[in-house]
Chain A
Amino acid sequence: MGEMEQMKKEAEGLKTQIEAARKAVNDTDMASAAAGVAPAPRVQLKTRRTLKGHLAKIYAMHWCTDNRLMVSASQDGKLLIWDSHSGNKVNAVPLKSSWVMTCAYAPSGNLVASGGLDNMCTVYNLKTPVIKTVKELDAHAGYLSCCRFLSDNEILTASGDTTCALWDLETGKQTTVFLSHVGDCMCLALSPDNNSFISGACDSLAKLWDIRDGQCKQTFLGHTSDINAISFLPSGNAVVTGSDDCTCKMYDLRADQEVICYQDAALNSGVTSLALSMSGRLVFAGYDDFNCNIWDSLKGEKVGVLSGHDNRVSCTGVPADGMCVCTGSWDSFLKIWN
């Protein structure tokens, strides 16, 4: 048997073993475990703000930890910083490349970052008298799909080159490259304790990584297409994903498997984005069909819908205090709901 044939055989054997080990602990599922939980009430949220200012499709948004400011990115070539309470624009950051796919706010509120088809992650200081470019992080060999700050000194990126990376913002260099996916990485989310992160990719897998040792600890199967959105449950022991296969799933980290799937036969649009309410009970999932569906994370039932956008919902975000949900769309508007 050739070496590759040998390796394939061994890999198949291990996959079978892992599947059996998962099955052995699969003594119930989330919906059954939640049978005794009172159903979530029907959720009817109103649009409280419609933020107008972008001139083209919005691709990403991210809340500041102050629960008030947010950053949005549009292919009109701008990042806009909004005061969500007043609805006013606080800052506009012109981008060198208008093909932006992601943006992020640093926990300190001092920095924002963006990136996209330029393959770079550019970091801006909002606190200097004039907004300055602090660093251009240039080492990925593919587009930047997602970025998240750990602090003013470190940022994590996900790329179409199939890797994620941790960068030192002082040196502008990659400290760690996370390689294991075999498809474009589309999204990442930090664990509540900042020790790990989860990534979703076009290989339909979600992977859990240890930030410090660079190792992939767990791999989650089940989706049948690109994973576009991912988030930790606030408890830190489960992860929710959204995919082009039109479903969202919750993966339980300790049981190492999918425990519930959020799907509806009538839904045949891909999931573009997702955000969890503060308790993790509600999943706000944005779809290609212009809606944002609200799912009861424990029972798997649809409990509401946010309708109002005239094009694909491309991004969603809930601030840390859980007081609202923001949706951003290809229709160029952001809406705030509660």
Chain B
Amino acid sequence: MARDMSDKDILKMELEQLQKEVKNTREPVSKTAKEICEWVEAQAAEDPLIKGVPEDKNPFKEKGGCIIT
């Protein structure tokens, strides 16, 4: 764990990690964010917390009792 490590060992670990990560490919946000939006939007149509849960299908609806209208 990092607590047992000397400053030098921590620095070496960080350096080796940076050497790996600098090689990662990165895609443009305009492409990736758009795809995230499209995925989420497609799912949101069926998202119970967005479209609401009808009373008769709600497993958590308040049990019993009287309703005074």
Chain A residues with CB under 8 Å of B50's CB are 40-41, 43, 277, 279, 281-282
Total interface residues in chain B, CB < 8 Å? 46
Most B CB contacts (10 A, CB to CB) among A24, A218, A254 go to A254
List, in ascending order, chain A residues with CB within 8 A of B32's CB: 237, 252, 254-255, 259
With the chains together, A17 CA to B10 CA distance in Å?
20
Residue-wise interface mask of B (25-48) relative to A, using a CB-CB cutoff of 8 A (1 in contact, 0 not): 011111011111101110110111
Contact of B37 among A11, A37, A219, A277 (CB under 8 A): A37
Question: A11 to B27, alpha carbons, bound, how many Å?
Answer: 23
B7 cross-chain contacts in A, Cβ below 8 A = 4
- Would you call A338 and B53 a contact (CB within 8 A)? yes
> In chain A between 254 and 310, which residues have their CB closer than 8 angstroms to a CB of chain B?
254-257, 259, 277-282, 297-298
- Flag if A11 contacts B15 (CB, 8 Å): yes
Contact assessment for B30 and A33 in the assembled complex, using a CB-CB cutoff below 8 Å: yes
Please choose the segment from A69-77, A104-112, A130-138, A320-328 that sits at the chain B interface, where 4 or more of its residues have CB less than 8 A away: A320-328
Task: Specify the chain A residue showing the minimal Cβ separation from B51.
Answer: A41
Residue of B12, B44, B58 touching A281 (CB-CB under 8 A):
B44
Chain A nearest Cβ from B47, distance in angstroms: 4
With contacts A34-B37, A279-B46, A324-B49 taken as known, whether A252 is within 8 angstroms of B29 at the C-beta atoms is yes
Report whether B47 and A279 are in contact in the complex, using a CB–CB cutoff of 8 Å: yes
A252, B33: Cβ atoms under 8 Å? Answer: yes
A-B contact pairs, 12 of them (CB 8 A): A14-B21, A14-B22, A33-B34, A49-B60, A161-B1, A162-B1, A162-B2, A219-B17, A219-B21, A298-B36, A322-B49, A324-B60
